[in-house]
Structure 1
C-alpha cells in the first residue's frame, strides 16, 4: 500500500474512528485501526467488538492495499504534524511495518495483518429510514444525561428508542432513566420507521453518535434490527450491537395527576440552584424548595460547612409545600430546557415531579424527590 493524502482529511477521519478503540486491550488487534486503500479513497475502520465505525476519506492511491496499525499512536502522530501538510502512508514489501512521512518527519509503525481484523457482521436489518441530524441530536441531547451507569441494571445503560402513537401522530420516542430521574423526547416518525422494534442503544454508542451529528442540515440513514443498529452520516458508517434486555414500562412512573403548577424563569432558577448548592456536600446534594404564593425559597443545609438560602419569584397559586431534590439532577434537567420558563407539576413531598418546557411538549422529565 502506498498513498498520499491531506493531513486535515486524515486527522478528521482518524478523530472519528480512533475514539472507539479502548486504551487497554487484551486482544492486540483491537488496539489497531484498519486502513484499506483502493480507487481514490482510504477507508478506515475501528471496533471494540460491540461498536464499529468506518469512514472513507479522499486519497491519492499509488498502490492499493490494506493493513492495521495502532490507532491512538497514528492519531497522535498525525495530530502533531504541521497544518496543510501532505502525509505519505506506505507499507514495506512484507507488510510488517508502515511508514508515515510528512516533510522532514518520518515514523515507522508496527503492523498486524488485515486478515486478523474482526468484522462486526451486520446481518440483515428489518427497518430502514432517514432522520434529520438535528432531530437525532435533539433526541440524544434531551435524554442521554439520564442514562444509568449502574452496570447491574444493564438494560438501563442506554437510550430506549421506539415508535409510539401520540397526539394522533406516529412519533419516534427516546427514553432514558436511572431510577432517580427520567427523560423523554419525541420527534415525528419518518416513513419506514413504522413498526420498528423497540431498541436500547448502549451508552458508548450514544456518546459517539452525539459527537458525529454535528451538521444539523444533514440526513442520517438508520437501519434497525432486533440485535443491531447501523447509522450512516455522510461517509461515516457506525454499526453497533444493541443492549439485549427489556426496558421497563416507563409510562407507569410518569405522573398523571400532579395538579400543583409552578412556573419559574429557567435560567434564574438554574443559577439560584447552582449558587445555593455550592455549600452542599458531595454525598448529600439535597436542596429544599419551599413554595408559597408567588415565591420559591431554595435552602441547602450542610452540618459541616453551613447553610444557604435564595429566593426566586415564581407563578404558583396552590397550597404552600416543601419538597427536596438532588441539585445536580435539577441542573441537568434545566440545562436541557430550551424555553425561557420551566413548568413544575407537583403532587406532594414524597411523589415524583413532572418538569417540562414552556417552549413545547416534545420533551418531558420526571424527577424523584429527596428527603430533606
Structure 2
C-alpha cells in the first residue's frame, strides 16, 4: 500500500478517528486505525466495539492495500508536521512496518494484522431519514447537558430519540434526564421517520456526532434499527450500538398545574446566579430564589465566607403571583439558562415541587428542574 494526502485533510480525518479508537489498550487492535486503499478510494476506520467511524479521505493512491497503525500516535505525528506538506504512507508488504514521510521527516510505525481488526458489520437499517444539520445540532445541544453519568442507571446515559404527536402534528423528540433535571426538545418529524422505534443514543455517541455536525454539510442522514443507529455526514459515517434499556415514562414528571410565572432576561438572571453563587466553592451549592410581586431576590450562603444577595426588580422581571421561596443547584440553573436565547420563563407550583423552565422565544423546548431544600 502506498498513497499521499495533504496534511490538513489527513489531520482532519485522524482527529475524528482517534477520538473513537480505544485508548485503554485492553485489546491492542482497538487502539489502531484501519487504513484501506482500494478502488481508487482511501478510507480510515476506527472502533471501540460500541462505535465505529469510517471516513473517506481524498488521496493519491500509488499502490492499493490495507494495514492498521496506532491511531493516537499517527494523529500526533501528523498534527506536529508543518502546514502545507504532503504526507506519504508506504507499506512495502503486509508484514512490514508502515513508513511515513513528509518533506525531510520520516518515521516507521509498527502495525497489527488487518485480519484482527473487528467490524460492526453493515446490517439492515429499516428506518432512514435526513435532518438539517442545524436541527440535529439543536436537539443535541439543548438536551445533552441533562444526560446522566450514573452508570447504575444505564438507561439514562443517553438521549431518548423518538417520534410523537403534538396537537395533531408529527414531531421528532429528544429527551434526556438525570433525575434532577429533564430536557425535552422537539422538531418536525422528517420524511421517512414515521414508525421509527424509540431509541436511546449513548452519551459517547452523542459527543462524537456533535463534533461532526460543525463540519457537516446541510443535511445529516440517519439510519435506524432496533439495536443500532448510523449517522452519515459528508465523507464520515458513524455507526453506534444503542442502549439496550427502557427509558422512563418522562411525561409523568412534567407538572401540569404550575401557575406562578416568572419571566426574566436570560443574561440578567444568569449573571446574578453566577455572582451570588461565587460566595461558595461547593459544586452543589444552592441558590435561593425569593419571589414577591415585582421583585426577585437571589441569595446564597457559605459557612466559611458569609452570605451573598442580589435583587432584580420589576424593571428586569415580570412576576405578579403570591410570594415564594425556592432553591436550586446553581450549576443546574446555569445549564438550563445556557440553552435560552433572550428571556427565560419559570413556572412554579410551590417550594417542593418540580419547576418548568422554558425559552420564551422557543416553545419547542421544555425543561424540568427539581428544587433543593435551602
Pairwise TM-score range, normalised by the shorter structure: over 0.9
Partner of 1:342: 344
Partner of 2:181: 181
* 2:369 paired residue among 363, 367, 370: 367
After TM superposition, which residue ranges in structure 1, 4 or more long, deviate above 4 angstroms? none
- Distance in 1 (CA, whole Å) between partners of 2:276 and 2:143 is 26
Question: Residues 85 and 114 from structure 1, CA distance in 2 versus in 1: closer, same or farther, beyond 3 angstroms?
Answer: same
3-state SS of the aligned residue for 1:19?
A: helix
Q: CA deviation at 1:204?
A: 0.1
Q: CA deviation at 1:93?
A: 2.4
Bigger CA drift: 93-102 or 146-155? 93-102
1:353 equivalent to 2:360? Answer no
1:72 equivalent to 2:72? Answer yes
Q: CA deviation at 1:215?
A: 4.6
| Superimposed CA distance per residue, residues 176-213 of structure 1 (whole angstroms, 9 cap, x where no aligned partner) | 00000000100001111001000000000000011110
Question: Residues 360 and 14 from structure 1, CA distance in 2 versus in 1: closer, same or farther, beyond 3 angstroms?
Answer: same
TM-score of the superposition, structure 1-length normalised?
A: 0.98
Partner of 1:32: 32
- Distance in 2 (CA, whole Å) between partners of 1:19 and 1:333 is 28
Map 1:111-260 onto structure 2 (within 5 A): 111-215=111-215, 218-260=218-260
Partner of 2:91: 91
Q: CA deviation at 1:57?
A: 0.8
Q: CA deviation at 1:66?
A: 0.3
Question: Residues 264 and 100 from structure 1, CA distance in 2 versus in 1: closer, same or farther, beyond 3 angstroms?
Answer: same
For structure 1, the 5+ residue unaligned runs are none
1:324 equivalent to 2:324? Answer no
Question: Would the aligned equivalents of 1:160 and 1:201 in 2 still touch at CA under 8 Å?
Answer: yes
Q: CA deviation at 1:217?
A: 5.5
Partner of 1:55: 55
- Distance in 2 (CA, whole Å) between partners of 1:234 and 1:93 is 32
Q: CA deviation at 1:94?
A: 4.4
- Distance in 2 (CA, whole Å) between partners of 1:209 and 1:94 is 33
TM-score of the superposition, structure 2-length normalised?
A: 0.97
3-state SS of the aligned residue for 2:269?
A: helix
Q: CA deviation at 1:279?
A: 1.2
- Distance in 2 (CA, whole Å) between partners of 1:360 and 1:13 is 35
Bigger CA drift: 142-151 or 121-130? 121-130
Q: CA deviation at 1:307?
A: 1.1
- Distance in 1 (CA, whole Å) between partners of 2:129 and 2:94 is 44
- Distance in 2 (CA, whole Å) between partners of 1:307 and 1:193 is 52
- Distance in 2 (CA, whole Å) between partners of 1:66 and 1:217 is 29
Question: Would the aligned equivalents of 2:283 and 2:331 in 1 still touch at CA under 8 Å?
Answer: no
Partner of 1:44: 44
| Superimposed CA distance per residue, residues 136-157 of structure 1 (whole angstroms, 9 cap, x where no aligned partner) | 1100000000000000000000
Bigger CA drift: 76-85 or 276-285? 276-285
Question: Across the two proteins, how many residue pairs are aligned to each other?
Answer: 371
| Superimposed CA distance per residue, residues 293-324 of structure 1 (whole angstroms, 9 cap, x where no aligned partner) | 11110010111221100111310011011000
Question: Residues 345 and 216 from structure 1, CA distance in 2 versus in 1: closer, same or farther, beyond 3 angstroms?
Answer: farther
What is the root-mean-square deviation of aligned Cα atoms in Å?
A: 1.0
Q: CA deviation at 1:216?
A: 6.9
- Distance in 2 (CA, whole Å) between partners of 1:151 and 1:100 is 41
- Distance in 2 (CA, whole Å) between partners of 1:283 and 1:55 is 40
Q: CA deviation at 1:366?
A: 0.2
3-state SS of the aligned residue for 1:13?
A: helix
For structure 2, the 5+ residue unaligned runs are none
3-state SS of the aligned residue for 1:205?
A: helix
3-state SS of the aligned residue for 1:43?
A: strand
Partner of 2:7: 7
Question: Would the aligned equivalents of 2:129 and 2:192 in 1 still touch at CA under 8 Å?
Answer: yes
Question: Would the aligned equivalents of 1:122 and 1:228 in 2 still touch at CA under 8 Å?
Answer: no
Bigger CA drift: 15-24 or 90-99? 90-99
Partner of 2:296: 296
